[in-house]
């Protein structure tokens, strides 16, 4: 499945080669007139370097939180997360909106430059190899459309909150609480309430020595709630029994970062309703 992240990886890894190659051919014939593709290639290369740097920093930070000795020394690691410690979690919609619009804005100028460069190169030299650069504006357009879709959902449904009962969800116990929203959802279909544990691991690409991140589902349960009994203003009760043999949030013994996701969704006319929360689940020792 082509996610935004994978599309960006394609742009970051492949397009600099296409861009600089096409630009080099043009610079041989008209040195100063066709530098736009080269500049775009350089911009994409910088984006790639920044992406690699941020990902390495993020992995190092997550690895530090999963250090077994640190977890043993701190019996309440969830309190380091201000939102978890407060017991009132906000859905991830606002954060994703910021990320999507930030990406769209950041990639807009290089995309416009790519379109101008393609048109100029083809009109002046007939070099259709530069069309490979057209993948970059298409990726930017896809991100823009996704951002618009999430914005429509945000304006239609607004924020959602999960009030956690107790300090955390408990492995070998339960996750309990209540989901509320500021805007009612008038749908005719059943709501789906789901709790899922995921682990993000590094897997080797087929036929290649490089690695990619993959989000794996380690445990999940879901429930259907009839639309006529689901009142988000009053609150939707949440209760999931969790077995003892599951991974904890940021489990130090896991291969990669572990997260627990609570989602409430419903297919509706237009943009579907979807609220997602990252919840804490830990083993509790008395």
In this predicted model, what pLDDT tens digit does every residue of 45-74 receive, in sequence order?
566 566 566 666 655 555 555 555 544 456
Q: Please check whether residues 119 and 163 belong to one and the same domain.
A: no
The number of domains in the chain is 2
Residue 236, domain member (yes or no): yes
d(CA 164, CA 235): 12
Q: What pLDDT is stored for residue 13 in this prediction?
A: 47
> In terms of domains, do 207 and 134 share one?
no
Residue 171 to residue 249: CA distance in whole angstroms? 10
| Three-state DSSP class for residue 188 | coil
pLDDT attached to residue 103: 83
Cα–Cα distance for residue pair 43/32, rounded to 1 Å? 18
Q: Tokens at residue 124, please?
A: 């002046």
Domain that holds residue 131: 4-74+96-154
Pair (150, 173) in one structural domain: no
Same domain, 269 and 225: yes
Q: How confident is the model at residue 96 (pLDDT cuts 50, 70, 90)?
A: confident
Same domain, yes or no: 50 and 125: yes
Token pair recorded at residue 84:
């978890």
pLDDT of residue 284 exceeding 50, the answer is yes
Which pLDDT does position 260 carry in this prediction? 96
Is 82 part of any domain? no
| Domain membership flag for residue 262 | yes
Query: Do residues 137 and 67 make contact, with C-beta atoms less than 8 angstroms apart?
Result: no
pLDDT reading at 214 higher than 80: yes
Helix (H) or strand (E) holding 258: strand 258-266
Residues 140 and 217 in one domain: no
| 167 and 146 housed in the same domain | no
Q: Are residues 179 and 57 in the same domain?
A: no
CA distance 204 to 191: 37
Q: Is residue 114 part of a domain?
A: yes
Element (H, E) at 215: strand 211-225
pLDDT (mean) for 9-13:
49
- Of the listed ranges 29-33, 118-122, 155-159, the least confidently predicted one is 29-33
How far apart are the C-alpha atoms of 173 and 196, rounded to whole Å? 15
Q: Are strands 236-241 and 211-225 parallel, antiparallel or unpaired?
A: unpaired
Mean of the per-residue pLDDT values of the chain? 77
Q: What is the four-CA torsion angle of 40, 46, 51, 56, rounded to 10 degrees?
A: 160
Q: Residues 44, 115: one domain?
A: yes
In the chain, what percentage of residues exceed pLDDT 70? 72
**Which two three-digit tokens encode residue 199?**
């682990």
Claim to verify: residue 19 and residue 141 sit in the same structural domain: yes
pLDDT for 48 equals 59
How far is it, in rounded angstroms, from Cα 190 to Cα 166? 28
Q: Are residue 264 and residue 220 in the same domain, yes or no? A: yes
Q: What average pLDDT does this structure show over 253-259?
A: 89
Question: Could you report the per-residue pLDDT of 139-196, keeping only the tens digit for each?
Answer: 888 888 888 888 888 888 888 999 999 888 999 999 999 999 888 887 788 899 999 9
Q: In the predicted model, is pLDDT for residue 265 greater than 80?
A: yes
Position 133 scores a pLDDT of 72
Q: Answer whether residue 121 is part of any domain.
A: yes
Q: Does the residue 87 lie in any domain?
A: no
Do 127 and 234 sit in the same domain of this protein? no
Q: Which of 170-179, 238-247, 262-271 has the lowest mean pLDDT?
A: 262-271
Pairs from 212-217 (Cβ < 8 Å, separation ≥ 24): 212/9, 213/256
Percent of the chain with pLDDT over 90: 26
Stretch (H or E) spanning 241 = strand 236-241
SS3 67: coil
Beta strands in 78-210 (DSSP E): 88-90, 160-164, 169-170, 174-181, 191-204
């Amino acid at each position: 499945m082509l996610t935004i992240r994978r599309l960006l990886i394609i742009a970051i890894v492949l397009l600099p080669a296409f861009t600089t190659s096409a630009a080099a051919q043009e610079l041989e014939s008209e040195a100063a007139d066709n530098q736009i593709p080269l500049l775009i290639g350089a911009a994409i290369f910088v984006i790639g370097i920044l992406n690699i740097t941020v990902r390495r920093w993020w992995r190092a930070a997550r690895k530090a939180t999963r250090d077994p000795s640190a977890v043993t020394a701190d019996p309440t690691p969830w309190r380091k997360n201000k939102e978890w410690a407060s017991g009132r979690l906000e859905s991830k919609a606002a954060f994703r909106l910021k990320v999507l619009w930030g990406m769209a804005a950041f990639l807009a100028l290089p995309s416009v430059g790519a379109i101008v460069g393609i048109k100029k190169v083809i009109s002046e030299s007939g070099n259709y190899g530069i069309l490979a650069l057209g993948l970059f504006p298409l990726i930017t357009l896809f991100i823009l459309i996704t951002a618009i879709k999430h914005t429509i959902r945000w304006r239609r449904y607004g924020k959602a909150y999960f009030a956690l009962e107790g300090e955390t969800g408990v492995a070998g116990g339960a996750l309990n609480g209540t989901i509320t929203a500021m805007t009612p959802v008038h749908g005719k279909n059943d709501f789906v309430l789901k709790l899922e544990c995921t682990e993000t691991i590094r897997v080797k690409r087929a036929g290649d020595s490089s690695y990619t991140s993959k989000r794996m589902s380690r445990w999940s349960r879901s429930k259907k709630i009839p639309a006529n009994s689901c009142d988000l203003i009053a609150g939707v009760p949440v209760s999931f029994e969790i077995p003892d043999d599951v991974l904890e949030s940021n489990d130090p013994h896991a291969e990669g970062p572990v997260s627990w996701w609570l989602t409430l969704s419903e297919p509706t006319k237009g943009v579907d309703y979807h609220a997602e929360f990252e919840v804490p689940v830990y083993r509790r020792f008395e």
